[in-house]
Structures are given as C-alpha cells and as structure tokens.
Structure 1
Amino acid sequence: MSTVSATSSSTTAGQAKTTMTAESLLGSDFKTWLTLMTAQLRNQDPFDPVDSTEYTAQLAQFSALEQQVHTNDLLSDLITVSASNDMAGMAEWIGKEVRVVAPADYAGTPVPVHASPDPTAYRAELVVLDRYGTEVNRLMINTGESDLEWNGRDAAGHDVAWSRYSFEVESFDSDGELISTRGAEIYADVLEVQKSGDLYALMLPGGVSVGTEEISAVRSAEG
C-alpha cells in the first residue's frame, strides 16, 4: 500500500510539473506541449489515472494554444501586408513638393519662402543665414502669414554665392523686444522615401531628411 501511495504521490507531482510546463509553453511551441501531454497519459499511474475533467481541460488548453499560434501567424501576415501597403502609399510622395522648415539651395534664381510670424507680433523680419549660420540679410516682412521671395542678395545688395541658405522669422513687440524666433518654410522636392522601424522619412535635395509630421503643405512639382 505504501508503494502505491508513493507512486501516486510521485505521479501527482509529475502531473503538476507537466501542467506548469505546459503553461510556460503557451505562445511557444504547441507541438512540444502535445508531446509532453502524450507522455503524461502514457506513463500515468494505473491506480490513479488522470481525471477526465482535468484531461478535458488540458485538451481545451491545447486547442486554445493552437488557435493562438495560428492567430499570431495571421497577425504577422497582416502586418507584413500593411507595411507593404504603407510603403506603396508613401511612394506617392516622390515627385511632390513639400513645404517644410529646411535649408534651400540658391542657384541664381529667387527662393520662395513661407513666413509665419508670431500672431502677436507688432513687427517681423525675415533673417537669411548662410550654411555656417552667419546672417546674410534681414528683411522687413508682413506680420501676418505670407509667401515671399528672397532675391539672393545680401544686406549690401550684392549677389551672394551659390550655396545653401536657411531662413528664420523674428517677431518683435511694440517696444522692439524679440518675442520669438521660428524657422521659415521653403518648398522642396521629395526625392526618396526611407523607412526606419515604424517611421518614414522624406529625403530632400542636399541629403536633407524630414519626417512627415514636419510637413505643412504638399503640392505637385509643377507648383
């Protein structure tokens, strides 16, 4: 009798261990889990067989596990398809012009600039900076949102070198105190779309990279 009790205790412990192992395998490999359950049934104590209720529960667990694996596979397929569709959609940006705060290359023709001074500004100025951040020119502009052109000349009225320039809008109050400084926007061609993780970046001339959230307007390349 003691031998049977010892065997029963050992078997019960083994069943508990097998159950915990099965739970730890959820979401992993249900084939391994099935092998463990089959081994449990094959080696069960004939004097203390697996309870039918427990056996049914384990089968239900196995069914749920298998369904979870299939669901994960389906989700992976859907994510792959979605990513492909996203990239195809992003490709439509190529060839468009986007309005964004970015430097512009001056090559002898006026550079269109979109300025948005502070809404409370009494006076506003457009500041032109060279590629090193040195001020090249400063122009009075409207205090309201407006489109204008920089003619490629410095403060002395001389033509500047063909190079890359950036633009800032400085807003002042009625006492001449600076309220804010914000970047002015230019239109640039989208040459390429790149993906990094879940984020997309638009590549502009000169190797400039911007995120789609930085864009305030889009138009066809013909303007």
Structure 2
Amino acid sequence: MTTVDTSTAASLTSAANTTVSSSTAISSDFETWMSLLTAQLQNQDPFDPVDSTEYTAQLAQFSSVEQQVLTNDLLGDLISVSTSSDMASMAEWVGKEVRVATPADYLGNPIEVHASSDPVAYSAQLVVKGPYGSEVGRFPIDTGESDVMWEGTDSEGKAVSWGSYSFEVESFDSNGVSLGVDDAEIYTEVLEVQRVGDQYALVLPNGSAVTTDDVSAVRNLD
C-alpha cells in the first residue's frame, strides 16, 4: 500500500515560503533599480551624458527584472488556481465507497471482502487476521476474483470479538503447495480528503489514510 509522506507537507510549506521571500526580494530589487536609474538620469552631467550603449544595457536589465517579477506573480496565481481546482475535484471522493487493501472494523455486521488469487492457483483460502496480526480463521474460496462475505467467525465457526481485522488470500497449486499470499480488499467509505504535500489522502473510517493509487474500485453508497 502506498503511504502518504507527511513530511512532504513541511517541505512544500518551506518551499512556498522561500518562493514568497524570493518574490518579495525581487520586487524590492525592482523598486531599488528603478530609483537608481531615475537618480542617474536626473543627475548625469549634461556635458558627459551616459553612453547610449550603457544606457541601453541598463534598460534591458530593467526590463528583465520587471518581467521576472510579473512572471513570478503569474506563476503564483496559476498555482493557487490549480490547487483550488484539484481540491474541488478530490472532494467528490467524500461519501463514496472505495475498494482498498486496509483493515476493517468488525462491529457485528458481515464484511464484504474482495479476494483475488494467483492466476495459476488450483485452490485458495481467505485468511483473516486479528488486531495484532494473529490468524483467527481460514476459509476456502473460489480461485480468480470473487467477493465473499466474512460473517465474523473463526475457522471453527465461533464468533470473534469486535475489533480491527485484516484479510489475505493464500493460493495453492494442485499439490497443496503455497504459491504466495496477497492482500485482500474491502469496501469502505471515504470520510475526508486531505492535501498532504503534493498528494491527496483519502481518510477512512478506521483512521487510516490512502492515496488514489491504492484504490482499485469506487462505488456509491447503498
């Protein structure tokens, strides 16, 4: 699962502050340059005026500074508009159900699990693990992709306690040899969208946060 690097937020904030400081410095230099150029023109010796070539070079530098200030302001406006647009678009995820590999909070109701076995598997099992990673149950499932309902029981059919449970799929060949274990997915609601650095995090009911890259399917709440 892709994790959201919260340290990116601090880096982005630092970069933004640096950009603002740079823009302020350029604006200050722009005003200083204009004042110096005006003073030079006002106080030049009429019998020994500024050389036209030097004056043209100074005007070119003046124009360059002016364009740099305007470009920085425009970039700042574009970034602001882009960020607002992205957030508005991401807000559409709120209230939707996403299919993602994450633990589920069992509160007495069956949990829908999307299981996907190895493509060459002869048989497969859904593995249920408890809050501390210990295995609480194994159930035979169809190979390939399928949606199964976990009723909140262990391998012996006994009810488990409420809590956080995760799901895996273990695949086997025709000799019963394991082909490996893959994460199974559940459908869960998106409660909130947060901007973390240059990424957007989808906050889930269990308190975890995932990115859109972790999501394999989206559907409306029933």
TM range, normalised to the smaller chain?
0.7 to 0.9
Match of 1:139 in 2: 139
Match of 2:181 in 1: 181
Residues 140-177 of structure 1: per-residue CA shift (max 9 Å, x gap) = 11220111111111011111112111101112233333
Post-superposition shift, 1:43?
Answer: 6.4
> What root-mean-square deviation, in Å, do the aligned CA atoms of Structure 1 and Structure 2 show?
2.1
Unaligned runs of 5+ in 2: 1-24
d(CA) in 2 for partners of 1:212 and 1:113? 19
Match of 2:8 in 1: none
Match of 1:56 in 2: 56
d(CA) in 2 for partners of 1:90 and 1:216? 16
Match of 2:5 in 1: none
- With normalisation by structure 1, the TM-score equals 0.80
Residues 120-150 of structure 1: per-residue CA shift (max 9 Å, x gap) = 2222211000111010111111220111111
Alpha carbons of 1:40 and 1:179: their partners in 2 closer, same or farther (altered >3 Å)? farther
Matched position secondary structure for 2:206: helix
d(CA) in 2 for partners of 1:143 and 1:162? 29
Matched position secondary structure for 1:206: coil
- Aligned 8 A contact 1:128 1:137 in 2: yes
Residues 86-143 of structure 1: per-residue CA shift (max 9 Å, x gap) = 1111111111100000111112221100011122222221100011101011111122
1:24-35 matched pairs, under 5 angstroms: 29-35=29-35
Match of 2:130 in 1: 130
Alpha carbons of 1:144 and 1:28: their partners in 2 closer, same or farther (altered >3 Å)? farther
Letter aligned with residue 142 of structure 1: D
Post-superposition shift, 1:49?
Answer: 4.8
Alpha carbons of 1:182 and 1:40: their partners in 2 closer, same or farther (altered >3 Å)? farther
Alpha carbons of 1:47 and 1:176: their partners in 2 closer, same or farther (altered >3 Å)? farther
Letter aligned with residue 109 of structure 1: N
- Aligned 8 A contact 2:103 2:206 in 1: no
Alpha carbons of 1:48 and 1:121: their partners in 2 closer, same or farther (altered >3 Å)? farther
d(CA) in 2 for partners of 1:150 and 1:212? 25
Match of 1:172 in 2: 172
Post-superposition shift, 1:42?
Answer: 5.7
Match of 1:68 in 2: 68
- Aligned 8 A contact 1:126 1:138 in 2: yes
Post-superposition shift, 1:220?
Answer: 0.4
1:1-223 matched pairs, under 5 angstroms: 29-41=29-41, 49-222=49-222
Letter aligned with residue 159 of structure 1: A
d(CA) in 2 for partners of 1:26 and 1:151? 65
- With normalisation by structure 2, the TM-score equals 0.81
Post-superposition shift, 1:39?
Answer: 4.8
**Which of these two proteins has the greater Rg computed from alpha carbons?**
1
d(CA) in 1 for partners of 2:127 and 2:96? 27
Unaligned runs of 5+ in 1: 1-24
- Aligned 8 A contact 1:123 1:143 in 2: yes
d(CA) in 2 for partners of 1:80 and 1:197? 14
Letter aligned with residue 65 of structure 2: L
d(CA) in 2 for partners of 1:40 and 1:171? 82
- Aligned 8 A contact 1:27 1:68 in 2: no
Post-superposition shift, 1:44?
Answer: 6.1
Post-superposition shift, 1:28?
Answer: 6.6
d(CA) in 1 for partners of 2:26 and 2:81? 26
d(CA) in 1 for partners of 2:124 and 2:218? 25
Identity %: 65
